[in-house]
Amino acid sequence: MKIIIKTTQIELTPALKEYTEKKIGSLGKFIKKIDAKEGVEIFVEIGKTTKHHKSGEIFYAEATMELPKKVLRVENSSVDLRAAIDTIKDVLKQSIQKYKETFIEKARMVK
């Protein structure tokens, strides 16, 4: 699994890069078979939404994963960037499990 990280209006520090790769990389165990066959890429974008918020900085995280027959896309905004990354990881995990139920399990039942 290949993780591609893009930042907007923030600097990608080594600690932030490591945190993102660790959290999103943990999803690899759910797509082992798919990744072995086709090589899955995950595009992650993190950054600040705008500079004009009165209540402080608002961060966002987006992730797009292309799987056979399906594109999974998740986004979240939060006051804490790490919380936004954690949330997209959890939602992606649920989406992957639903994908496996619909496409992979049904294919097994047909055979």
Which value, in Å, is the radius of gyration of the alpha carbons in the chain? Answer: 16
Give the sign of the dihedral formed by CA 33, CA 37, CA 38, CA 42: positive
Cβ atoms 71, 40 nearer than 8 A: no
pLDDT at residue 9 is higher than 80: yes
**Structural domain count, the chain:** 1
Range of the domain at 70: 2-110
Residue with tokens 């990354």: 85
Q: Which amino acid is at 42?
A: I
Q: What is the pLDDT of residue 21?
A: 94
- pLDDT digit string, tens, across residues 31-49: 888 777 778 899 999 998 8
Helix axis angle, 81-99 to 14-25, nearest 10°: 20
CATH number at residue 20: 3.30.160.100
Query: Under a CB-based contact definition with an 8 Å cutoff, are residues 46 and 7 in contact?
Result: yes
Kindly report, residue by residue over 58-102, the tens digit of the pLDDT. 899 999 999 888 899 999 999 999 999 999 999 999 999 998 888
